[in-house]
């Protein structure tokens, strides 16, 4: 029997916790999405999403779908059946994008990489330099692979493409990195950036978000792939006046408006620093406290939004996840495909703080002990605590005697 008292601790790498402000913003009466008022909402979120992608030149599109829909929109609007694509595969989600491209009749050259690493820059450069006739029309890269807790170097990938003087479109999955890990669409000259609502944007799943460069928009003229629901031409026509070609997910758009406000209030750079700070504490718990290994093979691959924790031989990671959920009401991410049963994942992105993460670390630790993982009780919590207390981004200040006196009297702890 699963314990249901108290609040569920949600620490999968998506969907993430939805802030109370965002939940309240979505509690709206239905309205006419063809009214003269609606463009105030739609135009504002489309415009402000560009700031999150860090693009001034690109155009953002919102589909009532998951990120998978945005994957499909990116491919079918810019490529033709039979076009050659180069794709690195190093986790479940990079694999699924490859699978989609193959099912859409593209010629996919798959660069298989050990799970725990990211986009291999040297091998990619070799392949691009050898492609003298520029047969490769697109390059697919997962910025952050949630299955393994790996972040790839997209800036480095752009440098490799430039060094090879290759004109292919650069497609990037930013589903679990956008608004959590720095993403610079214009600086890195990303042509199509895919994301979704349920991770760094702190919303429920339901919006597929796609940012498209001017170069990619021009490629639509020669793209022969069949498309209907995900046709960007229809979106461009309707979005010009602030509308959509079909019924939008209205409450989600109100939630997105509030989520963007929250993001800009904190500031993107502070959000990126906060996620790194939280991730470092989790990594301290894993490597210093529990003395376990991460799936990511070296620090250069470490993700600031999710940590994939390898369990010892003879232990099934799925058992850790099941006990954490049933006994402690804690949701952890599962190992997928090649790493199924070999790890569990702690998502540390979106709306969270140190004490929330402490709950995830403590619950994971108890679940591991329950299934026979030999970790020292309290070791993960202690290691995370030591890191966060030693690296507190909020400046310390001493409390003056006057403040101490006032606080004591205002709480009634000193008798007058």
| CATH number of the domain residue 238 falls in | 3.40.640.10
Q: Which residues contact 36 (CB under 8 A, 6 or more apart)?
A: none
pTM of this structure: 0.94
Task: Tell whether 414 is covered by a domain.
Answer: no
**Burial label, 395 (beta-carbon count in 10 A; 0-12, 13-18, 19+):** exposed
CA distance 105 to 57: 30
Domain around 190: 20-264
Structure confidence at residue 4 as a pLDDT band (50, 70, 90): confident
Query: What residue spans of 267-313 are helical by DSSP H?
Result: 268-284
pLDDT in tens, 393-415: 777 666 666 666 666 666 555 44
92 and 31 both lie in a single domain = yes
Beta strands in 128-247 (DSSP E): 136-142, 144-145, 150-151, 169-173, 192-196, 208-212
List the beta bridge partners of residue 139.
Answer: 86, 170
Flag whether pLDDT at 60 surpasses 90. yes
CA distance 241 to 39: 7
CA distance 360 to 328: 10
156 and 123 both lie in a single domain = yes
165 and 236 both lie in a single domain = yes
Task: Tell whether 411 is covered by a domain.
Answer: no
CATH assignment at residue 313: 3.90.1150.10
Compute the mean pLDDT over every residue in the chain, rounded to the nearest whole number.
95
Task: Tell whether 409 is covered by a domain.
Answer: no
Task: Tell whether 398 is covered by a domain.
Answer: no
CA distance 69 to 204: 15
313 and 206 both lie in a single domain = no
What Rg, from alpha-carbon coordinates, does the chain have?
23
Strands 59-63 and 136-142 turn out to be: unpaired
238 and 317 both lie in a single domain = no
Task: Tell whether 69 is covered by a domain.
Answer: yes
User: How many structural domains are present in the chain?
Assistant: 2
76 and 214 both lie in a single domain = yes
Per the CB < 8 A criterion, the answer to whether 385 and 355 are in contact is no
pLDDT in tens, 89-143: 999 999 999 999 999 999 999 999 999 999 999 999 999 999 999 999 999 999 9
304 and 370 both lie in a single domain = yes
Tokens of 397: 């200040």
Q: Looking at residues 58-72, what average pLDDT do you find?
A: 97
Task: Tell whether 405 is covered by a domain.
Answer: no
244 and 322 both lie in a single domain = no
**Residue 31 CB-half CA count within 13 A:** 16
CA distance 321 to 343: 9
- Helix, strand, coil: what percent of the chain each, to 5? 45, 15, 40
172 and 293 both lie in a single domain = no
**Residue 307 CB-half CA count within 13 A:** 27
Structure confidence at residue 416 as a pLDDT band (50, 70, 90): very low
251 and 276 both lie in a single domain = no
What is the sign of the dihedral through the CA atoms of 26, 28, 32 and 37? negative
Per the CB < 8 A criterion, the answer to whether 4 and 187 are in contact is no
335 and 366 both lie in a single domain = yes
306 and 352 both lie in a single domain = yes
């Amino acid at each position: 029997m699963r314990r249901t008292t108290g609040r569920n601790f949600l620490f999968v790498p998506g969907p993430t916790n939805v802030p109370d402000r965002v939940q309240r913003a979505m509690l709206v009466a239905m309205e006419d999405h063809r009214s003269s008022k609606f463009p105030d909402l739609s135009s504002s979120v489309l415009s402000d999403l560009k700031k999150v992608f860090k693009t001034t030149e690109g155009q953002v599109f919102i589909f009532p779908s998951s990120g998978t829909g945005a994957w499909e929109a990116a491919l079918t609007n810019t490529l033709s059946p039979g076009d050659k694509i180069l794709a690195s595969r190093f986790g479940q989600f990079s694999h699924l994008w490859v699978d989609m491209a193959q099912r859409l009749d593209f010629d996919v050259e798959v660069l298989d990489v050990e799970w725990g690493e990211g986009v291999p820059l040297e091998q990619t450069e070799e392949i691009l330099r050898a492609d003298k006739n520029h047969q490769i029309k697109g390059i697919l890269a997962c910025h952050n692979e949630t299955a393994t807790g790996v972040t790839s170097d997209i800036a480095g990938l752009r440098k490799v493409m430039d060094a090879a003087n290759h004109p292919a479109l650069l497609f990037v999955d930013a589903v679990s990195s956008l608004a959590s890990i720095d993403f610079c669409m214009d600086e890195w000259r990303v042509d199509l950036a895919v994301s979704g609502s349920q991770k760094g944007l702190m919303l429920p799943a339901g919006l597929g978000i796609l940012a498209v460069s001017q170069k990619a928009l021009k490629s639509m003229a020669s793209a022969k792939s069949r498309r209907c629901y995900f046709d960007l031409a229809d979106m461009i026509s309707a979005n010009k006046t602030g509308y959509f070609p079909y019924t939008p997910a209205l409450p989600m758009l109100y939630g997105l408006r509030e989520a963007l406000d929250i993001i800009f209030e904190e500031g993107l750079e502070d959000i990126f620093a906060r996620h790194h700070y939280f991730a470092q504490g989790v990594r301290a718990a894993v490597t210093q406290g529990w003395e376990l290994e991460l799936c990511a093979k070296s620090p250069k691959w470490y993700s600031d939004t999710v940590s994939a924790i390898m369990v010892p031989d003879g232990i099934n990671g799925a058992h850790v996840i099941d006990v954490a959920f049933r006994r402690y009401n804690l949701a952890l991410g599962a190992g997928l495909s090649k790493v199924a049963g070999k790890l569990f994942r702690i998502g540390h992105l979106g709306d969270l703080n140190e004490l929330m993460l402490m709950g995830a670390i403590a619950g994971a630790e108890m679940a591991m002990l329950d299934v026979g993982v030999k970790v020292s009780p309290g070791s993960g919590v202690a290691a995370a605590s030591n890191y966060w207390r030693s690296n507190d981004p909020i400046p310390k200040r001493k409390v003056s005697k006057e403040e101490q006196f006032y606080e004591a009297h205002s709480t009634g702890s000193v008798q007058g």
